[in-house]
Amino acid sequence: MGQVNKTSLEEFILLAFSDLYQLQLPLFFAVLFIYVACVFGNLSIICLVRVEPSLHTPMYFFISTLAATEMMFVSCIIPNLLANLIAAKNRISFIGCFTQLFATDSLGTAECYLLAVMAFDRNLAISSPLQYSSIMTQTLCIQLAVLPGIVGIISVLIPTISTAKSEFCGPNKVNHFFCDFAPLESLACSDTFNSQILTSCGASFAIVLPFITTIGLYIHIIVIISKLNSTESKQKAFSTCSSHLTVAGLYYITAINVYVVPKGSHYDRFLALIYTVITPLLNPFIYTFRNKDVKRILIKLRGLKFCQELF
């Protein structure tokens, strides 16, 4: 029986921020507000891109794909965190914990690679504007949007299975607000060396590789922009790319720091809050609501609504 199933634990306890009792209620309302705003903002992007013909471009297609990915990502984490903060429902089953781990890390990896895909799209648009439309066909856009999801599933599956096969026979208190590799590996009774190697390789593949790719593409973009003669063209190109670079930088840097600082610290958890809660909230505003095209469309939609009410 021991070789069939070495795991004696049936559930884990997510400690979340239970050691900061005085902050439980303020954190609940703050996270609830951010979650609602995040879902509303990202859902607005998806609907706007869907109904407005002028936004049926590769750039906005990838932005709406990112919005959908982020909605799924936060929905895997935040509802459980809210229940933990307000009702102390901090228990999660063994299967539920590893399902959450697999879902969140797959979606997180997909987002990292989707940001790299978006950098590739902007690089192609600026470096080859005449060939851009013929290269970025609808078929290619769909393939590039699906690819990060496939990469996320494949890269996270093996480390998840390896960690789940570890022997958990003692402590079951996870010092985090969601199930992740490092906090779970620290609870294992068996040797987790192989699991940690797989996790480290997976983290490098999930974060570092797309980060380096994105940085390389933007260095190339900056070189191309610097060679443009028109000041107006330079400003337009920088304006288009600055939003994506801001979001990518915020997400990559916080994600990398979470996997570099000592695990289980307050600093680790609050940094994780940034890329799991704050970044998905800011993305709709950084990407679209500051965009001139989107502002123009929103003004037009407001005008149409006013006319309908008037007549």
3-state secondary structure the chain: CCCCCCCCCCEEEECCCCCCHHHHHHHHHHHHHHHHHHHHHHHHHHHHHHHCHHHCCHHHHHHHHHHHHHHHHHHHHHHHHHHHHHHCCCEEEHHHHHHHHHHHHHHHHHHHHHHHHHHHHHHHHHHCCCCHHHHCCHHHHHHHHHHHHHHHHHHHHHHHHHHHCCCCCCCCEECCCCCCHHHHHCCCCCCCHHHHHHHHHHHHHHHHHHHHHHHHHHHHHHHHHHCCCCHHHHHHHHHHHHHHHHHHHHHHHHHHHHCCCCCCCHHHHHHHHHHHHHHHHHHHHHHHHCCHHHHHHHHHHHHHHHHHHHC
Q: What is the tens place of the pLDDT at every residue in 175-207? A: 889 999 988 988 988 888 888 888 888 888 888
Residue 215 pLDDT > 90: yes
Q: Judging by DSSP bridges, how do beta strands 91-93 and 173-174 pair with one another? A: unpaired
Contact of 148 with 110, CB cutoff 8 Å:
yes
Model confidence, pTM: 0.88
The domains of the chain are located at 11-310
pLDDT reported for residue 304: 47
Average pLDDT over residues 137-159: 96
Lowest mean per-residue pLDDT among 6-10, 118-122, 235-239: 6-10
How would you classify residue 293: left for phi > 0, otherwise alpha for psi between -120 and 50, otherwise beta?
alpha
Residue 310 pLDDT > 50: no
Going by pLDDT thresholds of 50, 70 and 90, the confidence category of residue 46 is very high
Residue 33 pLDDT > 90: yes
Which of the pair, 241 or 58, is modelled with greater confidence? 58
Q: What is the tens place of the pLDDT at every residue in 99-119? A: 999 999 999 999 999 999 999
Q: What is the tens place of the pLDDT at every residue in 246-275? A: 888 888 888 887 765 555 455 577 778 888
The domain 11-310 having CATH identifier 3.40.50.150: the answer here is no
Residue with tokens 């903002």: 41
pLDDT cut 90: percent of the chain above it: 45
